[in-house]
Amino acid sequence: MIINPSTGSISRASFSYKSNNPPDAPTINFSGKSGGLYCFLVNSTDPDGDYVSYIMVMGDRTLNVTDFFPSGVPVEICHKFWPGHYILYFRAKDIYDAESDWSDIEINIPRTSAKLYTLFHWLLKRYLMLEIMLNFLG
């Protein structure tokens, strides 16, 4: 109800309500790795065209939340992982807090032997006698 103070008239106020649909569950694609970071392209479409943000549970108990991006625009998300097996979970949320279902992807970060190999060579160069003994035993 709205009252006009100068005339004293009363009128009814009307409001319209727009329903809000949640975004689609995000699609996740591995986009590569660089310097120990593993990157993923995440994309979700909001049926209402609302901007979306992404919530990620990275498998190592790290929670990340992005800024809002236009609906349907792929967003690259990078994270550093230690060697191991991880299940990553992604969810989209629109600007009105409607959330999508969860999507997930499994990744396996292999252990590398490069550091151990480099250390072994350093020891051999440093301690020539060790190399001679190992050659004698082998």
Domain membership flag for residue 33:
yes
- Please list the ranges in the chain whose pLDDT falls under 70: 1-4, 8, 11, 13-17, 113-131, 138
Q: What per-residue confidence (pLDDT) applies to 11?
A: 67
Structural domain boundaries, residue 52: 27-110
Q: What per-residue confidence (pLDDT) applies to 128?
A: 64
CATH number at residue 65: 2.60.40.10
Domain membership flag for residue 84:
yes
What is the reported pTM?
0.67
**Angle of CA points 88, 89, 91, to nearest 5°:** 150
Q: What per-residue confidence (pLDDT) applies to 31?
A: 84
Q: Let me know: does 63 contact 90? Beta carbons within 8 Å.
A: no
What's the domain count of the chain? 1
Domain membership flag for residue 115:
no
Domain membership flag for residue 116:
no
Domain membership flag for residue 128:
no
Domain membership flag for residue 19:
no
Looking from the CA of 9 toward its CB, the CA atoms found within 13 Å total 4
